[in-house]
Amino acid sequence: MMDFDGKVAVITGAASGIGAGLARKALSLGMRVVLADVREPELTALAATLGGEVLTAPTDVADPESVEALADKAYENFGAVDLLFNNAGIMATGFSWTIEPERWRRSVDVNFFGVLHGVRSFVPRMLKAGTKAHIVNTSSVGGFLASPLMAPYSVTKFAIVALTESLRAEFEIIKAPIGVSLLAPGPVKTGIFNDPFGAMVEPGVQSFVDDLRSMLTAYGLTGDQFAELVFAGIAADQFWIIPQPEAFDEAYRRRADDVLARRTPRLPRLE
């Protein structure tokens, strides 16, 4: 288990929602924190509300050079990175066949390549340092349970699960001192369905998005409540950090049963 005090955390997608909650929690534990986000004004505004050692790094995780610059900045300023949250992610809604290729590509670039660029830029530096480190890749319960009307999200979140399992096994093979967690949030009250840049809501699926947004508002944890659960998972060195069993366990069991019985999947229920 990692002693957080004085250690360095890098958080992508830190300006809002879960990322901002993780930043506040990390600082409360005495960590030094690098906040990375593509939305610079929001990043600066958040940093102004935080006490402690905070560095902001405007970053587009879809761009490998931008993530490389983030890693350089973190190591130059703090000399180490002990905990990396590959957290940035965007929603895209619509029918699979009407979502434009560029919207599909942006989802893959941010959600999947964003995590991969984080791995590619930080792992070599962590291995070189040789000290204990930990990486948390954010998927979703949607990374295990595919949803209609948001296929770019489901596809990329499934990919993160696979990448993270591969990564963990590779660290085991080379006996790297790097822990890995796959984080799968259920509903958390954040801006994921509001962000005009990220949400890219397609006309015709507005009621679906409205239902999901109401579900987040009705049942979602706050970013701060969620961050508590995430840090408890890291402290316990959990690989699968899936802190909301009510949003996952039964549905995942039903899915596994369906696959094993060769039964056609049923439409997921919006609770």
Ligand X SMILES: NC(=O)c1ccc[n+]([C@@H]2O[C@H](COP(=O)([O-])OP(=O)(O)OC[C@H]3O[C@@H](n4cnc5c(N)ncnc54)[C@H](O)[C@@H]3O)[C@@H](O)[C@H]2O)c1
In angstroms, the CA 208 to CA 150 distance is: 10
Could you tell me which stretch among 7-15, 71-79, 121-129, 260-268 binds ligand X (CB under 6 A)? Answer: 7-15
CB 262, min distance to ligand X, A: 29
Helices and strands in the chain, H and E counts = 10, 7
Is residue 81 within 8 A of residue 71, CB to CB? The reply is yes
Q: Which of residues 199-218 bind ligand X (CB under 6 A)?
A: 216
Cβ proximity to ligand X: between 198 and 233 the closer is: 198
CB 8, min distance to ligand X, A: 19
Whether 153 is a known active-site residue: answer yes
In angstroms, the CA 101 to CA 82 distance is: 37
Number of residues that bind ligand X (CB under 6 A): 32
In angstroms, the CA 259 to CA 64 distance is: 37
CB 22, min distance to ligand X, A: 9
Is residue 95 within 8 A of residue 50, CB to CB? The reply is no
Cβ proximity to ligand X: between 93 and 190 the closer is: 190
Question: x/- binding map, residues 93-122, to ligand X, per CB under 6 A?
Answer: -----------------x---x--------
In angstroms, the CA 271 to CA 251 distance is: 11
In angstroms, the CA 165 to CA 180 distance is: 9
Q: Which of residues 146-165 bind ligand X (CB under 6 A)?
A: none
Q: Which of residues 14-73 bind ligand X (CB under 6 A)?
A: 15-19, 37-39, 59-62
CB 18, min distance to ligand X, A: 4
Cβ proximity to ligand X: between 127 and 199 the closer is: 199
Characterise 237 by phi-psi region: left (phi > 0), alpha (psi -120 to 50), beta (else): left
Q: Which of residues 182-201 bind ligand X (CB under 6 A)?
A: 185, 187-188, 190-192, 195, 198
In angstroms, the CA 152 to CA 205 distance is: 14
Q: Is 79 exposed, middle or buried (0-12, 13-18, 19+ CB in 10 A)?
A: exposed
* Chain contacts with ligand X (rule: CB under 6 A): 12-13, 15-19, 37-39, 59-62, 87-90, 110, 114, 138, 140, 185, 187-188, 190-192, 195, 198, 216, 220
The residues annotated with a catalytic role in the active site are 153
